[in-house]
Structure 1
């Protein structure tokens, strides 16, 4: 039988029931490493049940792989919606200095499984602040603390891989942490466009409107992809107006300032400037080192595993974006751990040799143009590395994105075939011609591929 109200002691019993189930369904080693050490409920506030993980590594592991399952198991046992919140011992020590907490009573009638689209690991606590993002961070904190009151909308812009999505989702997670009954929705712009297209075909506009209008906080990522989608723009305009009128918070990200958005109606772009626009820039060397140290805490149970001089070496090489930087650290960790090597700059250099060589070739070939952004954007879109993009690997997973990159470089920068070939490790000009023609044909015959490439062209700065 499901109880309506629980006190602290009863939540402790519920956690013990859930642990017993986990011990049965998980491998013994996984259970012992991840859950055995979490023995008690720390507190309950705003319908969040706080559990204390021994370190940031275990915290990140639970958030990435088990939190949704834990929440599902918990809500099978209680009537009112509750969610687990994982904190570290250090965070718990800080919380002990605060006032005592009690179990609160949530708003009645809220759907138990309102889908937020949020990544639980994107929090203000693990967002590394530096000169390049301090204004954006401070603004996001204020918006999260008083949603719909300060800076509405909040417009965050910057190059790919610098943390815009992370910061945006920090706002949503913070608001939910303080009030689990808030309706928060995170959505990528291409998902919004797809939702509207489906609603148009199925004539389910009421359902579409409810999804986007019946929220307290709407987080929309990569708004530049609305370019050229006139009907989707019109629907977003209506949603924007309704949410703004009802003092519901809107947060938007883009790869450029609102004034530079291409092929988006002016009445939308002007509204993006109503609140506050903040940018995120590339981090400095010291900032990149701090980012690596924070990432190391999430990747391993020993935050001192990699010496500072190795972290500084990695940070000095990979200065383009945070995503690339963190990927390099993961590669070093895997290489040294797999072969049982010490973490030294020599071994780090060996682990990163292919990435570094590719970077040198790319930088040399592109000395007369800033084409790195195109490679970053395309490789990120197709979930491969820039090293793979520039390599000679011939599997479809890499060949197609490589052809797309060549097509975009030709369309955006009108480079010669020889120049494009040089960028891709001196590919023959005939290979470049074939690749570009292949993508041009795909755009004529494959609607989905055409849509993808149009998105990428816009993101890479293509003008009419």
Structure 2
């Protein structure tokens, strides 16, 4: 084939390569390559030095081969012509060979490292916490989308439209729990697959060690052999250009080969800072699912699950109090239950509202809820099926009288209003009527269990 044809083929390859590397990398390592010939399925290119050839083979050989196979054809072999002497134009020809590593050209001793790929790929420890599974992951409206997609991925990793799965949300909402659960599910349904959970921080440390030990190619080979890669807190790659570039190639290789990628971050891909645009673009290829702060019902569900698992006996009143006041994240909820258990054990006291208040106040600032007479009045009317106008009227039938007495009693218990103010706002009664109402309610609560339960129920509604 003529040189012009080789030039055309190479320019097509360059367009693909340019989209997959940084501009500096493209200018430094790909523009100097000169296409020479394409004949008998062998594409020959000229590189300026032995070092240049070694670096290309060490760092970009996978990208080169995939691009050449895509643009020129499967089965195309790559051949390098390395300039030995620029003055005379003397060169030597070296084939690109998967099994031939640059350090083998000089018979350099090969350092053993944890990323080296063996002929038979061994199984690996997936680094998954068995406690974080789908059975212990409580579903709610704030995590339903992410959980549903996660179950689908766990059953069929790499074959769903959720690739990559990008889970984001603030700290403590359950992102790490969810991705561990996906990994465990994938390993259970596909025991032969290589599943790996790794934090962004550990990935960065491993990459730095690989650069220091000159084993980057083995590092790449290791991660490119993973079937389900779970990378936690990817926002920590911000500003780490070398790590980002390396992960970019790992991402491309895994995605193109139908492997599953699962990523977490504290923010959406749309607002990630310090990461290359080409990475952010790829993060949005699959599904971006937010896990937001748990709502009241989910917080209650999580607390009850934790209480049941730990074999505790805690009243719903206490559970509701904790769920109402600990609102930011799941770790705090679980921490309060642990604190309650510790306080109860050490002080030999039952777990009640007083103990719950002490435990919760150590985790969050509890702002006392301000209860008004209007709120009490409304709740009491709603409980007895009365209208506000009826309670404020002059009528004195038994049902209305009882409702007024309870409203007055609760207003005295939960507000700082004077007896006169309470009487004025509940039917324009005087302070003596309020005092009498409080005595009647107190006396009935002491002797009538059903009446006492009714008052407690109304109080719970007021607190809610």
Alignment match, 2:107: none
Kept in 1, the 8 Å contact 2:173–2:329? The answer is yes
1-side partners of 2:139 and 2:318: how far apart? 21
2-side partners of 1:208 and 1:188: how far apart? 16
Alignment match, 1:291: 302
Alignment match, 1:378: none
Q: 1:184 aligns with which of 189, 192, 195?
A: 195
1:144-159 alignment runs, 5 A limit = 144-150=154-160, 151-159=162-170
2-side partners of 1:167 and 1:356: how far apart? 25
2-side partners of 1:192 and 1:141: how far apart? 25
Q: CA deviation at 1:334?
A: 1.1
Alignment match, 1:424: none
> For each residue in 1:412-442, what CA deviation from the matched residue of structure 2 results, as whole angstroms up to 9, or x when unmatched?
xxxxxxxxxxxxxxxxxxxxxxxxxxxxxxx
Kept in 2, the 8 Å contact 1:282–1:320? The answer is yes
Alignment match, 2:350: 342
Larger radius of gyration: 2
> For each residue in 1:153-202, what CA deviation from the matched residue of structure 2 results, as whole angstroms up to 9, or x when unmatched?
01111111000011111110001112222110101111111111100001
Are 2:252 and 1:244 aligned?
no
> For each residue in 1:82-104, what CA deviation from the matched residue of structure 2 results, as whole angstroms up to 9, or x when unmatched?
xxxxxxxxxxxxxxxxxxxxxxx
2-side partners of 1:280 and 1:250: how far apart? 18
Partner-residue secondary structure (3-state), 1:187: strand
Q: CA deviation at 1:204?
A: 1.2
Runs of 4+ with deviation above 6 angstroms: none
> For each residue in 1:7-30, what CA deviation from the matched residue of structure 2 results, as whole angstroms up to 9, or x when unmatched?
xxxxxxxxxxxxxxxxxxxxxxxx
Alignment match, 1:429: none
1-side partners of 2:286 and 2:329: how far apart? 27
Q: Number of paired residues?
A: 249
1-side partners of 2:245 and 2:285: how far apart? 18
2-side partners of 1:196 and 1:218: how far apart? 16
Q: Which runs of 5+ in 1 are unaligned?
A: 1-107, 362-464
1:371-382 alignment runs, 5 A limit = none
Kept in 2, the 8 Å contact 1:314–1:329? The answer is no
Are 2:314 and 1:313 aligned?
no
2-side partners of 1:333 and 1:262: how far apart? 42
Q: CA deviation at 1:330?
A: 1.0
Instruction: Give the superposed CA RMSD.
Output: 1.8
2-side partners of 1:206 and 1:320: how far apart? 43
Q: 1:330 aligns with which of 314, 332, 338?
A: 338
Q: CA deviation at 1:206?
A: 3.0
Alignment match, 1:269: 280
Partner-residue secondary structure (3-state), 2:231: strand
1-side partners of 2:367 and 2:247: how far apart? 43
Partner-residue secondary structure (3-state), 2:362: helix
Alignment match, 2:175: 164
Q: 1:215 aligns with which of 198, 221, 226?
A: 226
Are 2:213 and 1:205 aligned?
no
Are 2:147 and 1:137 aligned?
yes
What TM-score do the two structures reach when normalised by structure 2? 0.52
Q: CA deviation at 1:291?
A: 0.4
Cα gap change, 1:356/1:225 in structure 2, threshold over 3 Å: closer, same or farther?
A: closer
More displaced stretch, 329-338 vs 225-234:
329-338
Partner-residue secondary structure (3-state), 1:162: coil
Q: CA deviation at 1:110?
A: 5.8
Alignment match, 1:75: none
Q: CA deviation at 1:306?
A: 1.3
Q: CA deviation at 1:203?
A: 0.6
> For each residue in 1:274-301, what CA deviation from the matched residue of structure 2 results, as whole angstroms up to 9, or x when unmatched?
0111101111111101001112233x2x
1:225-240 alignment runs, 5 A limit = 225-240=236-251
Q: Which runs of 5+ in 2 are unaligned?
A: 1-118, 369-464
Cα gap change, 1:329/1:147 in structure 2, threshold over 3 Å: closer, same or farther?
A: same
What TM-score do the two structures reach when normalised by structure 1? 0.52
Cα gap change, 1:247/1:356 in structure 2, threshold over 3 Å: closer, same or farther?
A: closer
Partner-residue secondary structure (3-state), 1:277: strand
